[in-house]
Amino acid sequence: MDNSVALNHLRQDKILETIIDKYQVSSPSISANLFRDLMEAIVSQQLSNKAAATIFGRFLALFPNNTIPKPDDILKLSEEVLRSCGLSHQKSSYLKSLSQEIISDQLVLENLHLLPDEDVITALTKVKGIGRWTAEMFLIFSLGRLDTFSVGDLGLRTAVSKLYEVDREDKNKIEEISKQWSPYRSLASLYLWKSLENS
């Protein structure tokens, strides 16, 4: 992506321009391992970054040389082994469901690159344990999609609420504000998250 084109577009919003001038972010990129990303997303749900990293690290340590497991490797593990990493019963079952969906070709990860954003979300949210927010994060951070804005993300709503003086729970208004950043809403989101880190 030509960042200069995207930034010139986003700078038309003078409020967002103040954030762009203050911070630096890297553009969304395409991940090398989509299965790993989805597993990490499931493990990380409702945990702090630190706790999630610890548990996911223990999970990867179950495999030789911390190699990224394949779906059939996950299905071979007992729940007791998965629970020993700190995973809940629910998350253990979600990891197995994801693996089963991939093995049975209900979810073909290689095809996700070819699908429009909403179709990716539909495909992912059919998997037990993956909701819309997780799918939207996957679009940005794993598929490198350029025009994703997650109105379900509390951080993004908080940032927009502070900058544009709107109610954080007014999702319709926040969605409306985000439309002016299209087709580069993913990059706008990265700047908004960055602004919260430093506020």
Residues 168 and 102 in one domain: no
Domain residues for the domain of 118 are 34-141
Residues 97 and 152 reside in one and the same domain: no
Q: Assess whether 167 carries a catalytic annotation.
A: no
CATH of the domain at 80: 1.10.340.30
Identify whether residues 16 and 40 lie together within a single domain.
Answer: no
Name which of 16-20, 48-52, 177-181 the model is least confident about.
48-52
Contacts of 195 by beta carbon, 8 Å cutoff, 6+ apart:
19, 22, 23, 159, 162, 163
What total of structural domains would you count in the chain?
Answer: 2
**Nearest residue to 189 via CA among 121, 127, 141:** 141
User: How does residue 66 score in pLDDT terms, banded at 50, 70 and 90?
Assistant: confident
Rounded CA-CA distance 145/106 in Å is 22
pTM over 0.85: yes
Beta bridge partners of 30: 143
How far is it, in rounded angstroms, from Cα 93 to Cα 124?
16
pLDDT of residue 88: 95
* 67 and 125, same domain (yes or no): yes
Choosing from 13, 117, 153, 170, the catalytic residue is: 153
Please give the DSSP secondary-structure letter assigned to residue 33.
Answer: -
